[in-house]
């Protein structure tokens, strides 16, 4: 099967407008005849559900949280980009487009990125109208800051809680349509299967997480906005429940998984403290605007930071990248930190961090200014580490944070399975091999508010009056049986090891072999080790309790079972991509100064994998990427 990206004709700046005119429309009175199932209620899912219901579609919303407001978009701290040029500093749609393609290390689809930059301005308008309390200047106008490797100030923010405020805006819009009876919400409900009949996605099988009841929802289209797969690594900044299950089960039904090896390691997280650690905590990248990153010049310097004089400190980012300094993109900052720690210059009790120092900023601006900008982050750091960042530098280290890979989608955000749409972090399309800071919120809301509501009509319009597959269809019954059988199997193993214990083992294999640096040797090793862990899971996992009540071990077991299959695909993708790009750093492929060395000749494509069964080699499909507007170049932040 060839991958049809369905990119519209025309100049890059005209594609989206042309396409919006050319897509088929569904008459307003007919929209209610179409049922759309939205899975996930983060920024992408909630914004899509609200917008589709406002248009008049019959929307069913599924969230595994107790309240849809708890989706992990809520934890995004820094901000959201938009090409508003409110700062009069030369920003434009084209510049945001250019920065995103370049920042993604030329592995994103140009047309999608341009559309993202175009609709970014509408997102800010929409959110402001909803009452999102963005930061303001004294004159009442919106404030912006520079963020994550951009040389213009285009990031809108609400203190250090931008994700929370944007999500609450989308959640409130969604609850409005739920309250008005225009959409139906299924909370504490997890999607465990995507139902495909005659090659078309026609519904999902769910499990009620309180009662254990398994039931089906049928619809004309399924919209998956289920987030990323960073928790495959066990330790990440993702929420504890974030998982790949819905996406993975769609993959096993035929949806292609694209670029799974593109994982983003965020440079500013609190280093792990011990084995009991359940997750890692991100410190917003905005801290790099005022914090200076350094390590002692000499390895194994154990003096406290305050006793290390200026001349014994190495501000290595400022030294190596004078133009961008502490604001280099995430992949570069992360790798640089790893290099310092690997060279024995790490700091902290486990020598597993680097300093992020606000001393100079406090001297220059005063403690009050710094408090105003970052107080909630400083407090959080203090609470976790018992160290006061106003008095001593923070210790930070990179951690898995975001996943650029995801289910393959075309320009309309539809996967290769007709009727299955994928939004937000769950798809692969906009960030290439590396995502820029403050772009995840932008993409989630772009997909949900301003892309899907236009493109989905093109698929639905021809279905008017045609028979639909209902939940009584044998395809649904078979899928329900399959879900029930899987649950029974996990409960019946009654082995010796807990789900978390096995997950930790998988996470360590992935982090050690498919983390910030990868080689052919480490990846081959991981691919040989993962099947054994999978075998261990299916013969020796211990899941207590029953299906018929709330059972959090059972929920986690299903998710870990999927990570055990997914992890192997991630390593296979990383192994096949014999180049370094963005978050995928193959140590064999680097420049003399240790920067990522791309191979545009052979790898300027999207690698979309087709499932061939557990333990079998997946089939690779390629979507060639062309760069007509942003010319292929080596990224340089010097």
Q: How far is the CB of 242 from other proteins (least distance, A)?
A: 8
CA separation, residue 40 to residues 43, 227, 279, 424 (Å): 9, 8, 22, 10
* 302 belongs to the binding site for other proteins (CB under 8 A): no
Q: Which of 70, 330, 534, 635 is catalytic?
A: 330
Of the pair 54, 314, the CB lying nearest other proteins is at: 54
Per-residue contact flags (x/-) with other proteins for residues 551 to 570, judged by CB under 8 A: xxx-----------------
Q: Give Cα separations from 603 to 65, 99, 581, 625 (angstroms).
A: 39, 21, 10, 9
User: Does residue number 450 form part of the binding site for other proteins (CB under 8 A)?
Assistant: yes
Q: Kindly identify the residues of this chain, within the stretch 177-236, that bind other proteins according to CB under 8 A.
A: 178-179, 185, 187, 210
Q: What residues between 139 and 158 interact with other proteins by CB under 8 A? A: 139-142, 158
In this structure, the strands spanning 200-208 and 214-218 are antiparallel
State which of positions 27-56 bind other proteins (CB under 8 A).
Answer: 47, 50-51, 54
Site for other proteins in 520-539 (CB under 8 A): none
Q: Which residue carries 């300094």 as its tokens?
A: 325
Which one of 20, 87, 176, 576 is in contact with other proteins (CB under 8 A)? 176
Q: Is the separation of the CB atoms in 582 and 262 below 8 Å?
A: yes
Q: Residue from 29, 88, 198, 276 that binds other proteins (CB under 8 A)?
A: 276
Query: Minimum distance from CB of 196 to other proteins (Å)?
Result: 29
Q: Which is nearer to other proteins, 303 or 496 (CB)?
A: 496
By CB under 8 A, tell whether 591 contacts other proteins.
no
Size of the site for other proteins (CB under 8 A): 82
At closest approach, how far in Å is the CB of 564 from other proteins?
19
375 binds other proteins (CB under 8 A): no
Question: Which among 222, 240, 218, 207 is positioned nearest to 486, based on CA atoms?
Answer: 207
Asked whether the beta carbons of 187 and 41 are under 8 A apart, the reply is no
In the complex, what is the shortest distance from the CB of residue 223 to other proteins, in angstroms, rounded to a whole number?
A: 15
CA angle 498/502/503 to nearest 5° reads: 110
Q: Is 23 in the site for other proteins (CB under 8 A)?
A: no
Nearer to other proteins, 121 or 597 (CB): 121
364 binds other proteins (CB under 8 A): no
Tokens encoding 337: 């930190």
325: left (phi over 0), alpha (psi -120 to 50) or beta: left
Tally Cβ neighbours within 10 Å of residue 474. Answer: 9
Q: How far is CA 273 from the centre of its chain?
A: 25
Stretch that binds other proteins, among 108-116, 225-233, 279-287, 566-574 (CB under 8 A): 279-287
Q: With binding defined as CB under 8 A, does residue 138 bind other proteins?
A: yes
Annotated catalytic residue 330: yes
Which two structure tokens, joined as six digits, stand for 313? 């400190």
Q: What is the DSSP string of 373-387?
A: HHHHHHHHHHHHHS-
Nearer to other proteins, 175 or 571 (CB): 175
Instruction: State which residue, 61 or 258, has the beta carbon closest to other proteins.
Output: 61
Give the separation between CA 231 and CA 237, rounded to whole angstroms: 8
What DSSP character marks residue 285? G
Give the one residue of 301, 458, 501, 599 binding other proteins; rule: CB under 8 A: 501
- Closest to other proteins by CB, 182 vs 433, is 182
Sign of torsion, CA 444 412 400 244?
positive
Distance separating alpha carbons of residues 210 and 605, to the nearest angstrom: 43
**Residue located via tokens 């029930």:** 484
CA distance readout (Å), 48 to 45, 203, 575? 5, 17, 35
Q: Binder to other proteins among 30, 92, 153, 172 (CB under 8 A)?
A: 172
Candidates 6-14, 239-247, 287-295, 602-610; binding stretch for other proteins (CB under 8 A): 239-247
Q: Name which of residues 308 to 337 contact other proteins (CB under 8 A).
A: none
* Angle at 377 (CA atoms; ends 375, 382), nearest 5 degrees: 95
Distances from the Cα of 591 to the Cα of 65, 414, 595, angstroms: 45, 37, 5
Tell which positions 332-351 bind other proteins, by CB under 8 A.
349-350
Comparison of 415 and 551: residue with beta carbon closer to other proteins: 551
Q: How far is the CB of 366 from other proteins (least distance, A)?
A: 19
Q: Which of 6, 153, 253, 273 binds other proteins (CB under 8 A)?
A: 273
The half-sphere exposure of 300 on its side-chain side, counting CA atoms within 13 A, is 0
**Under the criterion CB under 8 A, does residue 166 sit at the interface with other proteins?**
no
Residue 245 and residue 251: Cα distance in Å, rounded? 10
Q: Any idea what the Cα angle at residue 402 is, between residues 626 and 171, rounded to 5°?
A: 105
Residue 72 binding other proteins, by CB under 8 A: yes
Nearer to other proteins, 59 or 196 (CB): 59
Q: How far apart are CA 152 and CA 85, in angstroms?
A: 9
* Between 50 and 526, CB nearer to other proteins: 50
φ/ψ region of 191 (left if φ > 0, alpha if ψ in -120 to 50, else beta) reads beta
Binding of other proteins by 540 (CB under 8 A): no
Q: Which 99-128 positions form the footprint of other proteins (CB under 8 A)? A: 122, 124-128
- Note whether 129 binds other proteins by CB under 8 A: yes
CB of 19 to other proteins, least distance (A): 17
Of 69 and 572, the one with the shorter C-beta distance to other proteins is: 69
Catalytic residues: 330
């Amino acid at each position: 099967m060839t991958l049809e990206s369905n990119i519209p004709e025309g100049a890059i700046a005209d594609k989206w407008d042309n396409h919006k005119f050319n897509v088929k429309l569904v008459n307003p009175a007919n929209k209610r005849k179409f049922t759309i199932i939205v899975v996930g209620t983060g920024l992408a899912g909630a914004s899509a559900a609200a917008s589709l219901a406002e248009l008049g579609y019959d929307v069913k919303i599924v969230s595994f949280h107790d309240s849809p407001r708890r989706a992990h978009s809520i934890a995004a701290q820094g901000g959201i980009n938009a090409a508003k040029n409110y700062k009069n500093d030369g920003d434009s749609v084209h510049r945001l487009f250019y920065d995103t393609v370049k920042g993604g290390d030329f592995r994103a689809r140009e047309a999608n990125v341009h559309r993202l930059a175009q609709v970014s301005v509408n997102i800010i308008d929409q959110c402001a109208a909803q009452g999102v309390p963005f930061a303001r200047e004294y004159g009442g106008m919106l404030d912006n800051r520079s963020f994550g490797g951009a040389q213009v100030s285009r990031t809108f923010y609400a203190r250090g809680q931008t994700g929370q405020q944007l999500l609450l805006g989308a959640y409130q819009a969604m609850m409005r349509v739920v309250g008005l009876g225009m959409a139906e919400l299924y909370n504490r409900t997890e999607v465990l299967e995507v139902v495909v009949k005659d090659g078309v996605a026609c519904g999902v099988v769910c499990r009620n997480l309180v009662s254990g009841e398994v039931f089906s929802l049928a619809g004309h289209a399924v919209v998956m906005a289920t987030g990323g797969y960073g928790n495959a690594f066990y330790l990440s900044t993702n929420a504890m429940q974030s998982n790949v299950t819905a996406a993975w089960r769609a993959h096993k039904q035929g949806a292609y998984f694209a670029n799974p090896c593109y994982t983003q390691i965020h440079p500013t997280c609190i280093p792990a403290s011990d084995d009991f650690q359940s997750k890692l905590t991100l410190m917003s990248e905005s801290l790099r605007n005022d914090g200076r990153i350094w390590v002692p010049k000499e390895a194994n310097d154990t003096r406290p930071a305050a006793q290390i004089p200026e001349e014994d400190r190495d501000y290595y980012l400022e030294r190596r990248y004078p133009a961008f300094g502490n604001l280099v993109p995430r992949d570069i900052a992360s790798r640089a930190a790893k290099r310092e720690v690997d060279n024995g210059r790490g700091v902290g009790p486990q020598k597993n961090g680097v300093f992020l120092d606000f001393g100079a900023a406090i001297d220059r601006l005063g403690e009050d200014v710094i408090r105003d900008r970052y107080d909630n982050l400083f407090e959080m750091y203090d609470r976790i580490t018992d160290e006061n960042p106003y008095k001593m530098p923070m210790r930070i280290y990179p951690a898995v944070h975001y996943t650029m890979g995801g289910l393959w989608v075309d320009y309309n955000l539809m996967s290769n399975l007709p009727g299955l749409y994928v939004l937000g972090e769950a798809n692969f399309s906009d960030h290439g091999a590396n995502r820029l800071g403050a772009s995840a919120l932008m993409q989630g809301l772009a997909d949900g508010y301003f892309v899907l509501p236009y493109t989905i009509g093109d698929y639905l319009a021809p279905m008017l009056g045609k028979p639909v597959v209902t939940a009584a269809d044998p395809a649904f019954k078979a899928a329900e049986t399959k879900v029930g059988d899987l649950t029974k199997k996990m409960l019946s193993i009654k082995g010796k090891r807990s789900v978390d214990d096995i997950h930790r083992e998988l996470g360590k294999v992935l982090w050690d072999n498919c983390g910030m640096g990868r080689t052919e040797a480490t990846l081959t090793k991981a691919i040989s080790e993962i099947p054994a862990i999978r075998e261990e899971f299916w013969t020796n996992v211990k899941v207590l309790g029953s299906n018929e009540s709330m059972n959090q071990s059972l929920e986690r077991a299903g998710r870990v079972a999927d990570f055990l299959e997914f992890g192997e695909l991630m390593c296979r993708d990383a192994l096949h991509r014999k180049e370094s790009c963005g978050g995928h750093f193959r140590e064999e492929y680097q420049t003399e100064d240790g920067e990522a060395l791309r191979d545009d000749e052979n790898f300027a494509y999207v690698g979309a994998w087709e499932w061939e069964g557990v333990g079998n080699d997946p089939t690779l499909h390629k979507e060639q990427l062309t760069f007509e507007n942003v010319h292929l170049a080596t990224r340089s932040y010097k």
